[in-house]
Amino acid sequence: MIAIFKKELWSYFGNWSAWVIIAAFSLIMTLFLFFFENESNIFDIGLASLQSYFVLVPWLLMFIIPALSMKTFAEEQQTGTLNWLFSQPLKISELVFGKFLSVWVVGILCLIPSLIYLYTIYVLGVPEGNIDLGMTFGSYFGLIILIAAFAGVGILASSLSQNQIMAYLLGVFMCFIMYFGIEQLASYKLLGGADFILQNIGFYQHFLGFTRGLIDFKDVAYFVFVIGLTLALSNHFINKKK
């Protein structure tokens, strides 16, 4: 598993793809938070808070994480190296988890430049340091676990697909449905009391608690379950290709 993890990390950083993704992610967030005129511009809001960042990031992640995960199995199958991996002395579960960890780590690294935003807001606050650090760090924890959930979904999409384009499109679609689609469907209140159950199936309501600075065991357990389920399904579909 460690060997797969290192191999995948090298494939991301060795050909500059991870660097480009991290730089593009940081540039887009900087433009929206400090330069473009919109409801998320920190200067326009006038509040010493990173809440705008935590609202925008999941939307960008649902496009970036599938871009990172689309190659995990779809490329291996497309190039014919999947059969070679099957012949190596490692379990399919180790293969899946190693690739998952690499996507998760690169996703987390996308958040590192945002510490500059945190320092900037901390200094510009009136008085200096007038920022809710509990809510901020709770939101960061939520993003880290949300990235893991998106990575699990992306790995599952890649295990189901024959090529990288299909893996990317399927990954984006699945992430969108899990984060926003289910939440919107529940908001129409078409199912009566079952709407609450439907709402809690999606990512949004569970992530929302973290953005308020609340690290609830139920929300953490939900994401752990989703991650475990997506990886177990990925393991099943890869085994069928063996």
3-state helix, strand, coil in the chain (%, to 5): 75, 0, 25
Cβ neighbours of 71 (radius 10 Å): 22
Q: Distance (Å, rounded) from C-alpha 108 to C-alpha 82?
A: 27
Q: Distance (Å, rounded) from C-alpha 67 to C-alpha 209?
A: 27
Q: Which two tokens stand for residue 170?
A: 């399927």
Residue 154 C-alpha from the chain's centroid: 9
Cβ neighbours of 88 (radius 10 Å): 10
What is the phi/psi pair of residue 84, to 5°? -65, -40
Mean pLDDT of the chain: 89
Average pLDDT over residues 82-89: 83
pLDDT at residue 83, as a whole number: 82
Q: State which amino acid sits at residue 115.
A: L
Contact 214, 142 (CB under 8 A): no
Over the stretch 152-186, which tens digit does the pLDDT of each residue have?
Answer: 999 999 999 988 999 999 999 999 999 999 888 88
Half-sphere exposure of residue 173: CA atoms within 13 angstroms, side-chain side: 9
Q: Which two tokens stand for residue 40?
A: 């998320």
In 3D space, the residue among 159, 197, 152, 203 whose CA is nearest the CA of residue 177 turns out to be: 203
Q: Distance (Å, rounded) from C-alpha 195 to C-alpha 84?
A: 46
SS3 state of residue 72: coil
Assess whether pLDDT exceeds 80 at residue 193: no
pTM summary value: 0.93
SS3 state of residue 110: coil
In 3D space, the residue among 90, 85, 103 whose CA is nearest the CA of residue 241 turns out to be: 85
Average pLDDT over residues 4-27: 90
Would you say the C-alpha torsion 11, 16, 19, 24 has a positive or negative sign? Answer: negative
